[in-house]
Structure 1
Amino acid sequence: MPFTLYEVSIPLFIRNLQVLKKLLEKGQASGKETTLVESRLIADMLPFTFQVQSACDSAKFQAVRVGGLENPVMEDKEKTFLELQERITKTIAFLETVKPESFEGKEGQEVRTIKRNGVSIPLNGKQYTFEFSIPNFFFHLSMVYALLRKEGVEVGKSDYLGAGL
């Protein structure tokens, strides 16, 4: 039996948002929160806080754009690890309400993604999931991991993979 869009996305996002929470716990324990929240790999990159917000948004928008759920508004105002943790917790709680049935038959249904320059790119549910949503989520999760490493937080591959969850 083939996997559904729900099965390949929502449980994956929930688990990896839990990984993100654990990564932030290690960042907070390092005592480097002030440096980390504004950390960037390079000057033109958006900061650590944006990377966490975007990982959450990527997961949330899968449920909204493909599953057809109402978009819970989350303002991008987080400035502390505690606020970022609350955002992740809210995102997980939202994803836990998603029913597998909301993804049924959505593989070929058109999903519009809005880019920063305002151009809307039509994708179907399958394309959106595999070509945008999942890669975008893991890009931002990887950036969080890289920024933690850059600032000297002791995290490794097993932390990124969620060993022990």
Structure 2
Amino acid sequence: MAFDLYSAFVPTIRQLLDALPDVIDKAEQFVADGNATDTELLEAKLADTMWPLPWHVRSCWMHSAYAIDQLAGGSFTPDFTDVPEGWTAMRAMIASAQERMASATREEIGALADRKIEFVLGSQTRFTLSGERFLLGFNMPNFQFHATTFYGILRMKGVALGKRDFLGNPAGPMA
């Protein structure tokens, strides 16, 4: 089988999305065990100029499910609204992204490959890329950055996480 855009993007995004609920569970248990408060974890950042923990879940959603829907229209405009306010909201946002990624088809993703995609911030187009480069050179690295940062913040705060927690199932999604 040829290696196509779907194969390059969707399985890896799904693998890392599928790992996030267990990471969230461990963070919530860390709080329940009295090791931190919800506020301490939810407001935690790696640096003062970075977003706090829930923003990284939002960004994982944005650079996976939201991106596929945006790119179909020929542009990508970041959505900075609706940041999850707690563990349950983070799980719901991940579940939404998981559902959308599970429904993505090879044909749908393949149709994006040669489409010209504009990155629009505010009312200005900042750059234009092919759909393939947008997914692989912009969305995937952004997704991985935010998933890694989410994991890193929790590790920094003392949540017992290992590399396997981040990676999830390397064989990919079961469905």
TM beyond 0.5? yes
Q: Shift of residue 20 of structure 1?
A: 1.2
**What 5-or-longer segments of structure 1 have no aligned partner?**
none
Kindly provide the amino acid, as one letter, of the partner of residue 76 in structure 1: D
Please list the CA deviations of residues 90-112 of structure 1 after superposition, one character each: whole Å capped at 9, or x if unmatched: 11112222221112343221012
**What 5-or-longer segments of structure 2 have no aligned partner?**
none
More off after superposition, 134-143 vs 96-105: 96-105
Please list the CA deviations of residues 59-118 of structure 1 after superposition, one character each: whole Å capped at 9, or x if unmatched: 11332244559x9x9951411111100110011112222221112343221012224684
Q: Shift of residue 18 of structure 1?
A: 1.0
Q: Matches of residues 135-154 of structure 1 in structure 2 within 5 Å?
A: 135-154=141-160
Q: Shift of residue 149 of structure 1?
A: 0.8
- Is the alpha carbon distance of 1:68 and 1:98 closer, same or farther for their aligned partners in structure 2, counting shifts above 3 Å? farther
Aligned equivalent of 2:120: 114
Aligned residues: 163
Q: Is the 8 A contact 1:60 1:94 kept in 2?
A: yes
Q: Is the 8 A contact 1:9 1:62 kept in 2?
A: no
Aligned equivalent of 2:164: 158
* TM-score, normalising length: structure 2: 0.82
Q: Is the 8 A contact 1:10 1:63 kept in 2?
A: no
Q: Is the 8 A contact 1:65 1:111 kept in 2?
A: no
Q: Shift of residue 128 of structure 1?
A: 0.6
Aligned equivalent of 1:25: 25
SS in 2 for 1:29: helix
Q: Is the 8 A contact 1:14 1:92 kept in 2?
A: yes
SS in 1 for 2:103: coil
Aligned equivalent of 2:46: 41
**Paired-residue identity, %:** 23
Q: Is the 8 A contact 2:15 2:167 kept in 1?
A: no
Determine which of 104, 114, 117 is the counterpart of 1:98.
Answer: 104
Aligned equivalent of 1:11: 11
Q: Is the 8 A contact 1:59 1:133 kept in 2?
A: yes
Runs of 4+ in structure 1 deviating by more than 6 angstroms, as ranges, are none
